[in-house]
Structure 1
Amino acid sequence: MTSAVVYINELYEKSDDPWHLRDGWYERRKRSLTLALLPRPRYRNAFEPGCANGELTAALAQRCDRLLAADLHETAVRLARARVADLPHVSVEQRTVPRDWPSDTGPFDLIVISEFAYYLDAIDLETLAARISASLTPDGTLLACHWRRPFAEALESADTAHALFDVRCGLSRLAHHDEADLLIDVWSRDARSVAQREGLL
């Protein structure tokens, strides 16, 4: 993770929005896809590690009664707190996940792993999968969303991380969005489709 920390430090020294999360069409479209793929309209208690400057956090907050967001970078935490300052049901903390997992605020019925898992090595990915599995409620949802193109700071690929979640978390996959730049997968302990949950089948 050390090289990733240095890389992210350098990015935040140049900009408070180094990935163009606020205004980039790619990022706005990705947020829309992420929200659309969630199988439930609302969640009771959610966790979003790797929240960056809080743009996805603010969007998820509209679907959650309680949301904990976290990032290892002090600047990201400060920016995310400012972004959701008017949302009292959202907390933003500085945490190094998976080591500093919030076991005191779970269980969670939604965990969102977005643009984060590829910075972890194989051991930390295994630990992350175990933490997720142990922290989800019986009706819990896991959503993972990652950039697929290779870059120097990535220790694992998006495809590798998602394949590990598929095998290790003990969940049923409900949705899979696959394109050249982007991979989104959704799993749940509740294997019913959205139509089944709504009583349409």
Structure 2
Amino acid sequence: MRPDASLPPSYFENMFAADPDPWRFESSAYERAKYDRTIAAFENRRFRRGLEIGCANGVLTSRLAPRVDELIAVDVSASALASARRRCADLAGIRFGQMTFPEQAPPGEFDLIIVSEVAYYWSDRDLNAAGHWMSEALAKNGRVLLVHWTGATDYPQTGDEAVGKLAQAATPFIWSVGAERTESYRLDIWERAP
């Protein structure tokens, strides 16, 4: 039976404290292909200010940084953030923060929000709060990029449930401008409604 509450920060801290790469972000062919597709989804667009929610050990962060002038990467795990800071030490324009999103969120407006493999850890209440926050924080012509595994989970949501509930909470302020599905993950692109 899946939990009703969002997974606590201690779940992620324990994972990263025991293994700096518990989901094999550095070595998995699945992750590499997914990151390639995530970056390709930007086309040639460059972003002024981005937020990566759940940056983990910074593998995707290091690939996002060259496309974003100012990138704020947040995670709940201090151990994961320490790894991310080391990985991205030579890259300009990245700021890291330990936050439990959506309860905590950085201030200001973003023209890119990345939600990659994290929304299914959230409760219905947190998905609703996250969707409302995105509808306020996304700049005009900004983009939200969501990427989630579509297999069965023992988390509060499946990938499909999480994206659907986020979309419901963000409507009518944000709308879908692209979606694709592979055998193992879905990629969704949202923009702020004009």
Higher strand share: 2
Aligned equivalent of 2:109: 107
Task: Point out where structure 2 has 5 or more consecutive residues left out of the alignment.
Answer: none
Distance across 2 between alignment mates of 1:168 and 1:28? 30
- Deviation, 1:40, is 5.2
1:82-111 CA distance string (max 9 Å, x none)? 1111123101110110011112xx200000
Structure 1 ranges of 4+ moved more than 3 A: 1-7
Aligned equivalent of 2:121: 119
TM-score (norm 2): 0.90
Residue 140 and residue 2 in structure 1: after superposition, are their counterparts in 2 closer, same or farther (change >3 A)? closer
1:12-70 CA distance string (max 9 Å, x none)? 24321111111211100000111111255200000001000001111110100110000
Contact 1:37 1:175 (C-alpha < 8 Å) held by counterparts: no
Task: Point out where structure 1 has 5 or more consecutive residues left out of the alignment.
Answer: 192-201
Residue 84 and residue 151 in structure 1: after superposition, are their counterparts in 2 closer, same or farther (change >3 A)? same
Distance across 2 between alignment mates of 1:182 and 1:113? 13
Distance across 2 between alignment mates of 1:38 and 1:166? 20
Residues 1:36 and 2:37 aligned together:
no
Contact 1:140 1:190 (C-alpha < 8 Å) held by counterparts: no
Aligned length: 188
Aligned equivalent of 1:8: 12
- Deviation, 1:148, is 1.5
Supply the RMSD in Å over aligned alpha carbons. Answer: 1.7
Please give the residue correspondences for 1:160-199 in structure 2 after superposition, counting only pairs within 5 Å. Answer: 160-169=161-170, 170-189=173-192
Distance across 2 between alignment mates of 1:40 and 1:133? 24
Aligned equivalent of 2:80: 76
Higher relative contact order (CA 8 A, sep 6+): 2
1:93-148 CA distance string (max 9 Å, x none)? 10110011112xx2000000011111110001000001111001111100111111
Q: Name the stretch that deviates more: 168-177 or 107-116.
A: 168-177
TM-score (norm 1): 0.87
